[in-house]
Amino acid sequence: MTRETLINSALALALLLVPLWAYAMDEPFIITLATKVAILALAGVGLNIALGLGGLVSLGHAAFFGIGGYAMGILASHAQSYTAITDWPVLIEGTKSMPVIWLVALLASGLAALLIGALSLRTSGVYFIMITLAFGQMFYYFAISWAAYGGEDGLSIYVRNSFPGLNTLDPIQFFAITFVLLLAALLFSARLAKSPFGLALNAARQSPQRVETIGLSPYRLRLVAFVISGMITGLAGALFADLNRFVSPTMFSWQTSGEIMVFIILGGTARLFGPVAGAALFIILEHILGGLSEFWHIYLGLLLLLVVLFAKGGVIGTLAGREKAHD
């Protein structure tokens, strides 16, 4: 077992044991914090596929996070008001079922990623950053002006959506759902990195010229990566909305995109558990420093600066050292 695997296992175990301990101590707030970490880490795992493996610096992943959130909000709000979403050409009704909501969130964010990616991947570097940011902002202002679904105020859902066989209102049970989904995404991400697709995508990041010369199209590889990445972040958005029982345009804001990226940079870019370490650190800092000062982001900024200047591998990179070349 490499040192990184050891650190990863310890992180996963800690993320599981902390809420279990909180459950035993009857501290539901801590469980909610752990749930938040799991969900935000999931969003980061999504972005890490585009950013870490593909080298695609997307500043628009809030679009997918928000689409996931609104997929949940729209479906659940119709279900709770007993109104149909549309009755033409076919009747589509809302739902309170999590698996259905997840599926819709995955499909909707995947479709959006396909469209956004198809256009923005024709550019690169700073233009790519700007165009993804622009798409994110378009969704943000669209959500603000969409009065039917709360406009600026967003949508409140009174009761958390349901999952067969579980009581999702119980914090520890909802945590279990998010934890399992996070592990599944991590497992998928780990396999992806070692797959033929991961190899080609990673090479396209390092030398697009090489990838073309062996007969593959970097554009297509990146587009598929962008879609997968957007889908995972979209799923996280649906869970995040369910955690808060509330969805608002804030989920679409560029600050959200920035925060997801901050998780990755703090935790370690392209490291499997980077987003987990980063999201955990972010939430811990928010909890501790946020209690001291309203302006706790100053300290976050300082930390980010230190990481970028002195510890480029983030938390995981600093603890585990340089990534081992695959054998």
Partner 1 sequence: MTDPQTPILETRNICKAFGALKASQDISLDLRAGEIHALIGPNGAGKSTLIAQIAGGLKPDSGSVHLNGRDVTALPTAKRAQRGLGRTFQVSALAMEDTVLQNAVLGALGAQGRPFRLFQSALGNAGLRQVAEQALERVGLQDHARSRTAELSHGQRRQLEVAVALTLNPKAFVMDEPMAGLGASGSKALTGFLDSLREQAPILMVEHDMDAVFALADRISVLVYGQIIATGSVAEIRAHPEVRRAYLGEDA
Shortest Å distance, C-beta 213 to partner 1: 5
Identified binder of partner 1 from the candidate list 89, 164, 196, 291, rule CB under 8 A: 196
Instruction: State whether residue 155 is helix, strand or coil.
Output: strand
Please count the other Cβ atoms lying within 10 Å of the Cβ belonging to residue 186: 20
**What is the b/e burial string over 217-228, where b = at least 16 CB atoms within 10 angstroms of the residue's CB?**
ebbebbbbbbbb
Q: Which is nearer to partner 1, 45 or 177 (CB)?
A: 45
Of these, 100, 111, 192, 303, which contacts partner 1 (CB under 8 A)? Answer: 192
97: Cβ–Cβ under 8 A, 6 or more apart, which residues?
161, 162, 163, 164
Applying CB under 8 A, does 75 fall inside the site for partner 1? no
Best CA proximity match to 280, nearest among 327, 315, 241: 315
- Closest to partner 1 by CB, 35 or 189: 189
**Crossing angle (nearest 10°) for helices 274-292 and 297-310:** 140
Contact flag: residue 187 with partner 1 (CB under 8 A): no
Q: How many residues bind partner 1 (CB under 8 A)?
A: 28
Task: Give the nearest distance from C-beta 204 to partner 1 in angstroms.
Answer: 9
| Residue 1 sits in the site that holds partner 1 (CB under 8 A) | no
Nearer CB in complex with partner 1: 53/260: 53
Binding to partner 1 in span 209-228, by CB under 8 A: 209-217, 221, 224, 228
Nearer to partner 1, 186 or 228 (CB): 228
Q: Of these, 62, 200, 227, 235, which contacts partner 1 (CB under 8 A)?
A: 200
Are 225 and 193 a contacting pair, CB within 8 Å? no
Residue 110: is it exposed, middle or buried by C-beta count within 10 angstroms (0-12/13-18/19+)? buried
Q: Is 320 in the site for partner 1 (CB under 8 A)?
A: no
* 312 part of the interface to partner 1, by CB under 8 A: no
Is residue 118 a contact point for partner 1 (CB under 8 A)? Answer: no
Structure letter (DSSP) for residue 84: E
The reply on whether position 83 binds partner 1 by CB under 8 A is: no
Q: Which is nearer to partner 1, 73 or 314 (CB)?
A: 314
**Helix 218-244 vs helix 98-120: angle between axes, to the nearest 10 degrees?**
140
Residue linked to tokens 């340089």: 322
Instruction: Please select the residue that binds partner 1; options are 142, 149, 197, 296, rule is CB under 8 A.
Output: 197
Contact between 274 and partner 1 (CB under 8 A)?
Answer: no
For residues 218 and 50, the answer to whether their CB atoms sit within 8 Å is no
Nearest to 101 by CA among 244, 237, 230: 237
Q: How many CB atoms lie within 10 A of CB 111?
A: 15
Query: Does residue 203 interact with partner 1 by CB under 8 A?
Result: yes
What single DSSP character describes residue 147? G
Q: Which of 58, 109, 178, 202 binds partner 1 (CB under 8 A)?
A: 202
Could you write out the three-class secondary structure of 190-256? HHHHHCHHHHHHHHHHHCHHHHHHCCCCHHHHHHHHHHHHHHHHHHHHHHHHHHHCEECHHHHCHHH
Q: Smaller CB distance to partner 1: residue 228 or 307? A: 228
Our finding on whether 229 is near partner 1 (CB under 8 A) is no
Q: Does 5 bind partner 1 (CB under 8 A)?
A: no
- Residue 113 binding partner 1, by CB under 8 A: no
* Residues in contact with partner 1 by the rule CB under 8 A: 191-192, 194-200, 202-203, 206-207, 209-217, 221, 224, 228, 325-327
